[in-house]
């Protein structure tokens, strides 16, 4: 929530036009000298850094150069003790403000996010309203932003990496406070971004395929009448589940793959989406109704319209973020605190490793056939792939007929993972479970006293195994969100370095879903198989992350693009990445399948977090071997929001790298 607030600012474009260099060097030097004269004992490094940072944010509408000098003289805090006292007060105010705005946002989005009745247009209007969009605009107007920028200046990523090793926890927390005022973006532009993102999220949340209405070209139905799958997550999970179906699995997988291709290319008939009214043969793209063939128009590039709208919203914000003037820079150097090129190099290193071809050969032998593009989701290394999903669903639907049942069982699940009864209850009490409209997600609290929300999709027949697997993943998010809020010593350090770290926790939980069901894995090769599964999964998710990064680079090179052009380029990039990394491994050319991921549409540039999260997860799993899971997870996530490399070094004693995964894969292959 604080990060969201930090994106908001001045209400008009005048700030950008008049801001650069408005406070000149002479005024800055004069202000520094004035404080040094009146407070000779002051810390010169903090003094100069704070005044220069405040000057970079000061605009003509904030006052004259003389007024800036007067403001500095009045508001600079020279006393270290007084600075600490003010820091504690500001932290408390931020927790109250961010936490309560978070609660309001949850209320306004309730109908959109939860299975809570019909969505009316007014629900979308309220749900897409950004309640915090004017907060920092007000903070610049009333000069709160300048007091903070002056006394708690911003440190670049390079400075945090260089200085952070010697910082105390308090110094880290003060540096994080300095992150709150880095750029000034008009409130209406943040509101436009919220609307574009909200519309995309709704588009994805309602993109259901009625599988019972799909037909082969010889008019056979191969999926149950009542099966409805959300794209892409549930479609992907059905491909995974079908590996256990030796009789019809391949035919189901081929049909789902064809559905995915039609979605990517926007060849899918628009009216079959989220509708049970038509029979659709995805191979021939023929549609029938009441036994008669009819003609329906294809979806009119709606998928790519969402991305263009979000890109245009980012493009409008770019001029207000000097130094981070693209969405790519803001996502990686700003939000993830990792250089984008570093991420791309990391991905390239892993995707190019020859061990992946050897791994593909094992899968080929296990399947007894040549690999198909959808085998990027091969699930046969997991022990559950040999267990009929119907049996797993029978167990999960009995245990969890509704969200309340899942919540009631959370303390027991945490105790199975090693937490004491008291600690398990302490964590579980701070998480509630809601029925999700989409596939499910986790939404954290933003102040002590509030609860995190686990949204999960449960039908009237109870929680099926797919929903359970996702719910356990989201439960991992909630546990991290609880520890990193309630157990971190400074509120300004609450959270994790970036979303890759919370994804790591979610993966740790998800990998233990069978254990939580009381199903014991007896396979002596379990650890080797887990390694092979993790390595294959990492290849797949790195591929889609690579596609998305290249798509956004292309968007900035072609800023006037249309949805149609973006569609063609996305497909082209997906095929290019496939042919470079996946075709040599899998033996198929020109597949666009890497472009199917829904997060490319509603949460752009999020996908690289998954790969980063898996690398982090592997390093943590490797470290946890032989140690107490619960106490170590508590210890790691109590570190809070350090930079990624500092966090990982504190957690496991090494920095982040793909090499440990490659080494472990090599050993497993041997």
> What single string gives the DSSP state of each residue in 325-390?
-SHHHIIIIIII-S-HHHHHHHHHHHHT-THHHHHHHHHHHHHTS---GGGGG--TTSGGGGS-HH
Residue 522: what pLDDT? 67
Q: What's the rounded mean pLDDT across residues 196-220?
A: 96
> For 188-197, 257-266, 319-328, 367-376, which range has the lowest pLDDT when averaged over its residues?
319-328
- Which residues sit opposite 453 in a β-bridge? 432, 443
Residue 500: what pLDDT? 79
pLDDT tens for 67-122 read: 999 999 999 999 999 999 999 999 999 999 999 999 999 999 999 988 878 899 99
DSSP single-letter state for residue 77: -
Task: Name the residue with tokens 């449960």.
Answer: 458
Residue 323's pLDDT band (cuts 50, 70, 90) = low
Candidates 380, 347, 382, 384; CA nearest to 364 is 380
Q: What's the rounded mean pLDDT across residues 396-421?
A: 97
User: Who has greater pLDDT, 578 or 384?
Assistant: 578
Residue 434: what pLDDT? 93
Kind and range of the H or E element at 139?
Answer: helix 135-141
Percentage, residues of the chain above pLDDT 70: 96
User: For residue 119, with 0-12 CB atoms within 10 Å meaning exposed, 13-18 middle and 19 or more buried, which class applies?
Assistant: middle
pLDDT tens for 345-396 read: 999 999 999 999 999 999 999 999 999 999 999 998 875 556 788 899 999 9
Does the pLDDT of residue 7 top 60, yes or no? no
Residue 80: what pLDDT? 96
Q: How confident is the prediction for the chain on average, in pLDDT?
A: 91
DSSP SS3 for 269:
strand
Q: Are 152 and 87 in contact (CB under 8 A)?
A: yes
Residue 235: what pLDDT? 97
Q: Are 582 and 543 in contact (CB under 8 A)?
A: yes
Q: What's the rounded mean pLDDT across residues 249-273?
A: 98
pLDDT tens for 145-173 read: 999 999 999 998 888 989 999 999 999 99
Residue 612: what pLDDT? 83
Residue 619: what pLDDT? 85
| Cα–Cα distance list, 101 to 69, 304, 661 (Å) | 34, 31, 40
Residue 51: what pLDDT? 96
- Look at phi and psi of residue 64 and say left if phi exceeds 0, alpha if psi is from -120 to 50, else beta: beta
| Cα–Cα distance list, 161 to 52, 205, 337, 639 (Å) | 21, 39, 10, 16
pTM here is: 0.74
Residue 358: what pLDDT? 97
Two tokens, residue 106: 């949850």
Residue 14: what pLDDT? 36
Q: What's the rounded mean pLDDT across residues 467-474?
A: 94
Report how far Cα 333 is from the mean position of its chain's Cα atoms: 16
Residue 386: what pLDDT? 61
How do beta strands 452-456 and 431-435 pair? parallel
Residue 573: what pLDDT? 98
**ω into 152 cis (within 30 of 0):** no
In angstroms, the CA 401 to CA 382 distance is: 26
Q: What's the rounded mean pLDDT across residues 266-291?
A: 96
Q: Measured at the alpha carbon of residue 505, what is the angle toward residues 503 and 506, in degrees to the nearest 5? A: 60
> For 221-225, 413-417, 611-615, which range has the lowest pLDDT when averaged over its residues?
611-615
Residue 526: what pLDDT? 75
Q: What's the rounded mean pLDDT across residues 609-617?
A: 83
Does the pLDDT of residue 1 top 50, yes or no? no
Residue 16: what pLDDT? 36
pLDDT tens for 417-445 read: 999 999 999 999 999 999 988 778 899 99
Does the pLDDT of residue 214 top 60, yes or no? yes
Residue 493's pLDDT band (cuts 50, 70, 90) = very high
Does the pLDDT of residue 17 top 80, yes or no? no
> What single string gives the DSSP state of each residue in 396-452?
HHHH-SSHHHHHHHHHHHHHHTT--HHHHHHHHTTEEEEEBSSSEEEE--SSTT--E
Report how far Cα 360 is from the mean position of its chain's Cα atoms: 28
Q: What's the rounded mean pLDDT across residues 455-483?
A: 94
In angstroms, the CA 661 to CA 622 distance is: 10
User: For residue 312, with 0-12 CB atoms within 10 Å meaning exposed, 13-18 middle and 19 or more buried, which class applies?
Assistant: middle
Does the pLDDT of residue 62 top 50, yes or no? yes
Residue 224's pLDDT band (cuts 50, 70, 90) = very high
In angstroms, the CA 160 to CA 493 distance is: 14
Kind and range of the H or E element at 293?
Answer: strand 292-294
């Amino acid at each position: 929530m604080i990060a969201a607030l930090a994106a908001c600012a001045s209400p008009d474009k005048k700030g950008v036009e008049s801001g650069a260099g408005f406070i000149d060097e002479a005024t800055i030097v004069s202000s520094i000298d004035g404080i040094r004269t009146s407070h000779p004992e002051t810390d010169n490094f903090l003094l100069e850094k704070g005044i220069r940072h405040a000057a970079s944010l000061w605009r003509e509408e904030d006052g004259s150069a003389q007024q800036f000098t007067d403001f500095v003289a009045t508001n600079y805090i020279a006393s270290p003790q007084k600075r600490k006292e003010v820091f504690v007060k500001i932290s408390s105010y931020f927790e109250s403000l961010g936490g309560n705005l978070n609660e309001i946002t949850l209320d306004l989005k309730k109908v959109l996010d939860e299975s809570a009745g019909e969505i009316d247009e007014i629900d979308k209007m309220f749900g897409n309203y950004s309640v915090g969009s004017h907060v920092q605009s007000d903070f610049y107007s009333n000069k709160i932003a300048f007091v903070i920028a002056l006394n708690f200046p911003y440190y670049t990523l390079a400075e945090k990496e260089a200085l952070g090793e010697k910082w105390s926890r308090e110094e880290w927390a003060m540096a994080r406070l300095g992150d709150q005022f880095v750029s000034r973006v008009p409130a209406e532009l943040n509101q436009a971004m919220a609307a574009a993102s909200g519309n995309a999220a709704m588009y994805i949340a309602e993109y259901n395929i009625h599988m019972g209405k799909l037909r082969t070209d010889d008019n056979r139905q191969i999926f149950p009448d009542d099966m409805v799958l959300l794209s892409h997550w549930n479609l992907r999970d059905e491909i995974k589940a079908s590996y256990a179906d030796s009789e019809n699995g391949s035919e189901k997988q081929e049909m789902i793959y064809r559905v995915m291709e039609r979605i990517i290319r926007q060849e899918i008939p628009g009216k079959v989406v989220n509708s049970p009214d038509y029979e659709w043969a995805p191979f021939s793209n023929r549609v029938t109704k009441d036994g008669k063939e009819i003609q329906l128009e294809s979806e009119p590039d709606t998928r790519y319209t969402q991305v263009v709208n979000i890109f245009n919203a980012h493009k409008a914000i770019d001029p207000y973020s000097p130094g981070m003037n693209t969405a790519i820079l803001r996502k990686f150097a700003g939000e993830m605190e990792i250089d984008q090129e570093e991420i791309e190099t990391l991905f390239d290193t892993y995707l190019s490793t020859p061990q992946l071809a050897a791994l593909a050969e094992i899968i080929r032998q296990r399947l007894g056939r040549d690999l198909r593009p959808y085998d990027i989701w091969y699930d046969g290394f997991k022990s559950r792939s040999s267990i009929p999903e119907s049996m797993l669903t029978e167990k999960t639907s009995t245990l969890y007929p509704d969200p309340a049942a899942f919540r009631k069982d959370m303390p027991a699940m945490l105790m199975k993972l090693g937490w004491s009864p008291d600690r398990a209850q302490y964590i579980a009490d701070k998480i509630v479970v809601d029925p999700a409209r989409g596939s499910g997600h986790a939404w954290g609290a933003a102040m002590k006293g509030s609860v995190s929300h686990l949204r999960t999709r449960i039908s009237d027949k109870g929680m099926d195994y797919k929903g359970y697997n996702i719910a356990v993943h989201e439960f991992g998010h909630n546990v991290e969100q609880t520890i990193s809020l309630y157990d971190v010593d400074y509120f300004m350090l609450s959270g994790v370095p970036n979303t890759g770290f919370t994804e790591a926790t979610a993966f740790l939980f998800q990998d233990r879903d069978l254990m939580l069901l009381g199903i014991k894995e007896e396979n002596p090769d379990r650890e080797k198989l887990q390694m092979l599964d993790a390595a294959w999964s990492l290849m797949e998710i790195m591929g889609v992350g690579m596609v998305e990064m290249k798509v956004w680079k292309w968007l900035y090179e072609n800023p006037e693009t249309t949805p149609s052009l973006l569609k063609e380029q996305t497909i082209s990039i997906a095929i290019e990445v496939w042919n470079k990394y996946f075709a040599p491994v899998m033996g198929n050319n020109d597949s666009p399948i890497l472009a199917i991921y829904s997060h490319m549409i509603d949460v752009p540039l999020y996908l690289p977090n998954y790969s980063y999260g898996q690398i982090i997860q592997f390093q943590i799993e490797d470290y946890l071997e032989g140690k107490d899971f619960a106490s170590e997870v508590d210890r790691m996530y109590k570190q809070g929001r350090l930079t990624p490399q500092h966090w990982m070094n504190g957690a496991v004693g090494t920095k982040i790298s793909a090499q440990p995964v490659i080494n472990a894969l090599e050993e497993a292959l041997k």
